[in-house]
Structure 1
Amino acid sequence: MKKFFLFFLILFSLGIPFVFSSRYIQLEISVEEGAEGDSADFQLVDQRKLVLREGKENFSFQGNFTLYVTPTIIEDKIFLSVDLYTLGPKVERISKELLASPGELLEYGQVKVKNDRIFRVRLSPSVWEVPKKMEWCDYSPQNPDDFYSEVSVHYTIYYMENSLADYHWLKNKDFLERVYRTHKESWRFSYPEKINYVISPCHLSQVGWDFRFHSALDPVKNSVYSVYNKDIQGIFSPFAMELLHYKYWGYAPKFIVEGLAGEKFFAHYYAKKLKENKSLCPLSSLKLSRDYRDQPMEFAFYSASSFVGFLIERYGKGEFKRFYQEVTDLTLDQVLFSIYKKSLTQLEKEWHGFLDEYSSPDWELFDVATFMLSNKRYDQSIVLLKDLLKRNSGEDKLDCLYHLTNAYFMAGRYSDAASTVLEMMEIKPENPELWNALGNNYFFDGKDSLAREAFEKALEFSPNYGDCYFKLGQLSLKQKDFKTSLFYFTKAESLSLNLLELIEANLSLGEAYDFLEKDSLKKERYKKAKEFSEMFLKNAPDNSLSYLKMGQSLLGLNQFGPAIDYLNGALFMEKSAKRLGEIYLALGRAYHKKGESAMAKSLYRRVLLEGSGKLEKEQAEEFLKALY
């Protein structure tokens, strides 16, 4: 984790795509499979369309080969300098320079796959009209000014300083190592080289991305590329494990290698869900790599992963390894029968029966649910925790309800969160933390009287509960009862035990003094909030809340430019509905006070669209009215 450097954080938070002046070429790559010496036997098994940047070396992996292509437009022709490298163990290389008219189909060459099977590669280039905005960027992992690198046990990880991958470095490294160890222990792999893992905040312009996972493979350079930002987490793709299996066992169709890479990703649980929802992919629709890519990503991935996992668990690793090393797209049925003595249809029926009887272990469900929650995948976490609740009672049930409440709250589903708190209170009716949690959910859901009752009840059980006084102060402030709000905020400040509580208390006191038009006291409180926020930021530089609080403190001091910078930093990191509402509201206030009405209106409207609390929405509506 590098030191905080706000300029780059702001740059990434703006979400502005980078646009290049270069021209682009669209290249269609077709892969046909056939038997050696039988030209009539070839059939299309894979096809991709790539956008290549003119004058630069672009790469793409499909089939069993990596293509490196440098295109140039010469008048009405397209010149391609192409190098092709196959997977090992016997690496083939084909280098050619081709001149083609746009749309012309070029025979590039043939490469061996396995046994007597051959891939025939065809290329068809065309000039591509660049849209006004492109969601790509022009950085290079080989340039130390662009990317830093750090080494873990099995990876060399490349990332941009102050990108989200930098701030989440430890979490991402631990995830990658955990997945690697799982496969290493399962298959006794001991790969001598470290995998080069490039984590970029945007789609690098010369990479042949698989947009299903926002990731890419380059086995020749032992590299995986993934996009990682607030909205896209390509790091959770199976590509690193695909690379590992390609290195050990060579090529297999996408259905098989991706299924093998994903069979440890809780595949049976998700496949069973798909089956119950009648969304499980028929295996016949996954056999050809082209067809596999055309299926909805999650349906195909979990169907393939679960089926491969079923084969391994039911028939053993040795049989599956033989199958993997012999199978191609067009020989899947034949090889499957020769090894398992059953047709794909028969095995598919067995697999469906297996899923009907399958029940995920509780620890596995809880593990993946908390993993999803920690990575802000709230909807997925909620589904898993609700399934767990059906199975558990006592302390285990309380644990599930606690995490489910948190997931509902961060997703902005305050009514559902309140319901889970009430369910916990049936077991622990005198717990002040539960009464406070209930009050918080009522507060953000706009149920002020119920919130007040819950906070007062919490104080009966714990008279020095600072957060309850703070929320009671906010309720009083909302009702324009400034003297009462000052009493509650001052009481909360005297009881605050951590930096965040001290920040919140001083921000609220500053707001109350602002309403009372006591400028010197207001500034004093916002200055204190800023001082505590600076300390919080040093302690938690990867937490969006630290940037939000710094932005709110600066906003209270009328330092609009710096406030906007920090609030954009919070926006860059955050994706929870609850917190996004707070950030957009604060940004709207900053632009409003700065006199930029159009931007303020846009941000206030965003508050109304997010799963924000009722308080933020009411304030946004009030501020919007003031602008008309």
Structure 2
Amino acid sequence: MYRKIKISFLITLFSIFGFCLPSQLKADEAVRFELIVRQRPALVDNYYEIRRDTVDIIVGQSVYSLIVNMSLDIKVEKADSQSVEFTNHLTTIGKTPYNFAERYKVEYNLPARVENIPGKNGSLYQLLISPRKLIEIDPEICPFKTGSDSQFKSSPSANFDFYFLPNSLADFNWNIIKGYLEADFVQFRDALGISLTNKIIYYLSPCPVNGVKWDKRFGYAIDPGRLRIFSLYSHDYISSEAILTNILILLRQWGYAPPFLVDGLAGYFEFSTFEIKKIKKRGEIPPLNKLMTSSGYYSADPQTAEIVAASFIKFLADNFGIGKLKKLYDKSDDLYLQKNMESIFGQPLDSLETAWNHYIDTVSIPRRLFDFYAGRAGALFKSDLQIEYYEEMLKLDSRRRDSIDTRKKLYMIYYQTGRYYEAEEGYRLLTQLDSSLPVYWQIIGNLNLIIGNQEAAWQAFDSVFALDTTYVSAKLLQAEILSLQGDTTGAIELAEKYYSYENSPPAKIEFLLLLGRLYQGKGENFDSTKAHRYFSDALAWCREMIKKVPNDPAYKFRAGLALIGMRDYSEADNFLELAWFTEKRAYFLGHILLERGKVNDMLGNRDEAVMFYQKCLANPSALRHHEYSRQYIDKPFTE
């Protein structure tokens, strides 16, 4: 079952990206290595283990890995049941890197050693690379490449060279990504007085590509030496956050420091001030001395550790100055972070921790920060965080205009994410707090139509038109209600009466699609010629608008609906698939899933059709879309 799902997913990916999927993909032979890093302080004879990890490398290929203060490029040349031949190129991170390269032939469970790797303050590191066993890697997990035969295309910005797959989600959202990452990069760079002479190479991949060792906690890989970042950007997960750029900058310019310090400083501009209050309220803040080393930090809950680090380091920077924090960074490694912290800040860690806890309890968060971070969450499509931050912001609103501003933002996200009842209640409140604007009543009507309250929807659309007769789309939606109630003649009369008054392209297209469906329906109003003309006109409008706004999924969706009306189901599904790929709004996503189910039924793909109907039911779709999905699961859709 798992394999079948993965193959289906990859076929979808390849069809969207325009690549060919091999008919049979065989598992690749690979070697699992264990990496162990030990540190010997200056004037001490003993080594202390700092970090251990594993990495899987396909035979004949290389993998980049970052561990403690060193970047590794390990390539497996040959492997059999007895031993492994591999090369290792090691480079320490920072402004004055140390390089080492060697070829090894090692039996399983025996280590290849790299000795006397220089670290901070005269310390030395030892690296052990031990092949553990032969394994198989499924090439279907992520078949895309980043080398000379890469399928990724590049688009530059002021400080980045972004790489993403053509027609991928990252391609469609590139301007949003660019704006967010550029703004945060400049803010962090200027705050720390750091400069880079080269651009950052930033990969936005739909899956974890081979060739790099991914951090499985958050889904990324960082290569300070080559100024590269690999992140995930897909419907299921987005890891391309600003903190990755900040980590890269610190490691590149300031060199290695323990992850508590690197992640904490990199997260200085994250919303840790609010998030740490939640963690403390739950009683989940771990003792700070447990997070000072790499092993302790990486064994803790990843999100908790990162937020704790960011909050505590921000507390130190704000209270003691960035100069002392830079001194701590320059001097510290895994063995001496706590000791150096106590020396530089002149207090035991327990005292610093007590002061920090008091800071958490007493610091106030201004309204503007909730507004800023809610907008920032929107750039990453994290609607749950947006809602949480706007709900908190609403508690701080003391002025009427602030309350209206917050509510407009909050209720729109309720609407877009499928929280229709809360949105409907909120917009009714706005008609009282703000004014009885026609746009509010239009949204109230839409929401009631979605939840199946046709009478309330009709009344809301009456209110729209009474306030502003230019809102002709209110009459379109009333015609839609008449059609749902079976009054096809009344729906046609109303739609044809007001169509000529509509100037908005989206609404004109919706008028045409509705009229096409009405004339295509069974009964006395059936007129295939008129139906085809309306659908053709709608499709022509959609094609024109797609040229003007290619990233808007709504016109691709409407083009798909027009093609369904014209009985071109294969081409319709192509447009619906593109719309599904970039659509985030719950109502439209549910409608797309329903229509894809109907199209696949007409194409004879019953299993796929049922899958789409089930996805529609799992989505917060319109009530009628759920009802249709249940109906078509029981009995296939037919014309």
TM-score by length of 1: 0.93
Q: Measured at CA, do residues 19 and 274 of structure 1 come closer, stay the same or move farther in structure 2, by a change above 3 Å?
A: farther
SS in 1 for 2:225: helix
Q: Measured at CA, do residues 531 and 425 of structure 1 come closer, stay the same or move farther in structure 2, by a change above 3 Å?
A: same
Q: Distance in 2 between matches of 1:155 and 1:227?
A: 16
- Aligned 1:452-471 pairs, distance under 5 A: 452-471=458-477
Equivalence for 2:266: 261
SS in 2 for 1:137: coil
State which drifts further: 393-402 or 466-475: 466-475
1:229 aligns with 2:234: yes
Q: Distance in 2 between matches of 1:509 and 1:236?
A: 45
Q: Measured at CA, do residues 373 and 179 of structure 1 come closer, stay the same or move farther in structure 2, by a change above 3 Å?
A: closer
- Aligned 1:182-197 pairs, distance under 5 A: 182-197=187-202
Equivalence for 2:404: 398
State which drifts further: 379-388 or 295-304: 295-304
Residues 559 and 572 of structure 2 are in contact (CA less than 8 Å); yes or no, is this contact kept in structure 1?
Answer: yes
Q: Distance in 1 between matches of 2:20 and 2:421?
A: 32
Q: Distance in 2 between matches of 1:575 and 1:293?
A: 33
1:426 aligns with 2:432: yes
| Offset, 1:247 | 2.2
1:201 aligns with 2:210: no
- CA RMSD, 1 decimal: 2.5
Equivalence for 1:623: 632
Equivalence for 2:163: 158
Q: Measured at CA, do residues 179 and 15 of structure 1 come closer, stay the same or move farther in structure 2, by a change above 3 Å?
A: farther
| Offset, 1:482 | 0.9
Residues 483 and 518 of structure 2 are in contact (CA less than 8 Å); yes or no, is this contact kept in structure 1?
Answer: yes
| Offset, 1:400 | 0.9
Q: Which runs of 4+ in 1 moved over 6 A?
A: 6-9, 12-18
Residues 91 and 100 of structure 2 are in contact (CA less than 8 Å); yes or no, is this contact kept in structure 1?
Answer: yes
Residues 547 and 567 of structure 1 are in contact (CA less than 8 Å); yes or no, is this contact kept in structure 2?
Answer: yes
Q: Distance in 2 between matches of 1:18 and 1:217?
A: 32
Residues 74 and 89 of structure 2 are in contact (CA less than 8 Å); yes or no, is this contact kept in structure 1?
Answer: yes
Equivalence for 1:378: 383
- Aligned 1:430-449 pairs, distance under 5 A: 430-449=436-455
| Offset, 1:438 | 1.3
Residues 17 and 167 of structure 2 are in contact (CA less than 8 Å); yes or no, is this contact kept in structure 1?
Answer: no
| Offset, 1:374 | 4.4
- Aligned 1:75-474 pairs, distance under 5 A: 75-130=81-136, 134-143=140-149, 146-392=151-397, 393-474=399-480
Q: Which residue identity does 2:444 align to in structure 1?
A: L
Q: Measured at CA, do residues 226 and 18 of structure 1 come closer, stay the same or move farther in structure 2, by a change above 3 Å?
A: farther
State which drifts further: 513-522 or 346-355: 513-522
1:596 aligns with 2:601: no
| Offset, 1:32 | 2.3
Q: Distance in 2 between matches of 1:213 and 1:7?
A: 22
SS in 1 for 2:211: coil
Q: Measured at CA, do residues 250 and 390 of structure 1 come closer, stay the same or move farther in structure 2, by a change above 3 Å?
A: same
Which stretches in structure 2 are left out of the alignment for 5+ residues? Answer: 1-11
| Offset, 1:132 | 5.2
Q: Distance in 1 between matches of 2:422 and 2:23?
A: 37
2:496 aligned residue (490, 503, 514) = 490
Q: Which residue identity does 1:511 align to in structure 2?
A: R
| Offset, 1:338 | 0.8
Q: Which residue identity does 2:417 align to in structure 1?
A: A
Equivalence for 1:549: 558
Q: Measured at CA, do residues 374 and 176 of structure 1 come closer, stay the same or move farther in structure 2, by a change above 3 Å?
A: closer
State which drifts further: 55-64 or 444-453: 444-453
State which drifts further: 212-221 or 397-406: 212-221
| Offset, 1:13 | 11
| C-alpha distance after superposition, 1:27-76 (max 9, x if no partner) | 22222233246443x33322222221221121011211100000131343
Equivalence for 1:521: 530
SS in 2 for 1:140: coil
Q: Which residue identity does 1:555 align to in structure 2?
A: I
1:587 aligned residue (572, 584, 596) = 596
Identical pairs, percent: 23
Equivalence for 2:577: 568
Which stretches in structure 1 are left out of the alignment for 5+ residues? Answer: 1-5
Q: Distance in 2 between matches of 1:460 and 1:172?
A: 42
Q: Measured at CA, do residues 325 and 460 of structure 1 come closer, stay the same or move farther in structure 2, by a change above 3 Å?
A: same
Equivalence for 2:73: 68
State which drifts further: 537-546 or 106-115: 106-115
Residues 556 and 578 of structure 2 are in contact (CA less than 8 Å); yes or no, is this contact kept in structure 1?
Answer: yes
Q: Which residue identity does 1:550 align to in structure 2?
A: A
Equivalence for 1:3: none
| Offset, 1:323 | 0.5
Q: Distance in 1 between matches of 2:396 and 2:18?
A: 43
| Offset, 1:300 | 1.8
Q: Measured at CA, do residues 381 and 624 of structure 1 come closer, stay the same or move farther in structure 2, by a change above 3 Å?
A: same
Q: Which residue identity does 2:154 align to in structure 1?
A: S
| Offset, 1:163 | 2.4
Q: Measured at CA, do residues 401 and 395 of structure 1 come closer, stay the same or move farther in structure 2, by a change above 3 Å?
A: same
| Offset, 1:586 | 1.1
1:30 aligns with 2:30: no
SS in 2 for 1:585: helix
Q: Measured at CA, do residues 364 and 14 of structure 1 come closer, stay the same or move farther in structure 2, by a change above 3 Å?
A: farther
Residues 398 and 424 of structure 1 are in contact (CA less than 8 Å); yes or no, is this contact kept in structure 2?
Answer: yes
| Offset, 1:12 | 7.5
| Offset, 1:491 | 4.2
Q: Measured at CA, do residues 226 and 500 of structure 1 come closer, stay the same or move farther in structure 2, by a change above 3 Å?
A: same
Q: Which residue identity does 1:287 align to in structure 2?
A: M
Q: Which residue identity does 1:413 align to in structure 2?
A: R
Q: Distance in 2 between matches of 1:399 and 1:492?
A: 33
Q: Distance in 1 between matches of 2:400 and 2:22?
A: 50
Q: Distance in 1 between matches of 2:271 and 2:328?
A: 23
Residues 60 and 67 of structure 1 are in contact (CA less than 8 Å); yes or no, is this contact kept in structure 2?
Answer: yes
| Offset, 1:624 | 2.1
Residues 17 and 136 of structure 1 are in contact (CA less than 8 Å); yes or no, is this contact kept in structure 2?
Answer: no
Equivalence for 2:620: 611
| C-alpha distance after superposition, 1:462-512 (max 9, x if no partner) | 234222222222222222111222233334533322221112111111122
Q: Distance in 1 between matches of 2:541 and 2:254?
A: 56
SS in 1 for 2:120: coil
| Offset, 1:412 | 0.7
Number of aligned pairs? 621
State which drifts further: 165-174 or 389-398: 165-174
Residues 32 and 46 of structure 1 are in contact (CA less than 8 Å); yes or no, is this contact kept in structure 2?
Answer: yes
Q: Measured at CA, do residues 250 and 488 of structure 1 come closer, stay the same or move farther in structure 2, by a change above 3 Å?
A: same
TM-score by length of 2: 0.92
Residues 17 and 165 of structure 2 are in contact (CA less than 8 Å); yes or no, is this contact kept in structure 1?
Answer: no
SS in 2 for 1:495: coil
| C-alpha distance after superposition, 1:405-432 (max 9, x if no partner) | 1111111110111121122122135222
1:535 aligns with 2:541: no
1:10 aligns with 2:16: yes
2:487 aligned residue (466, 478, 481) = 481
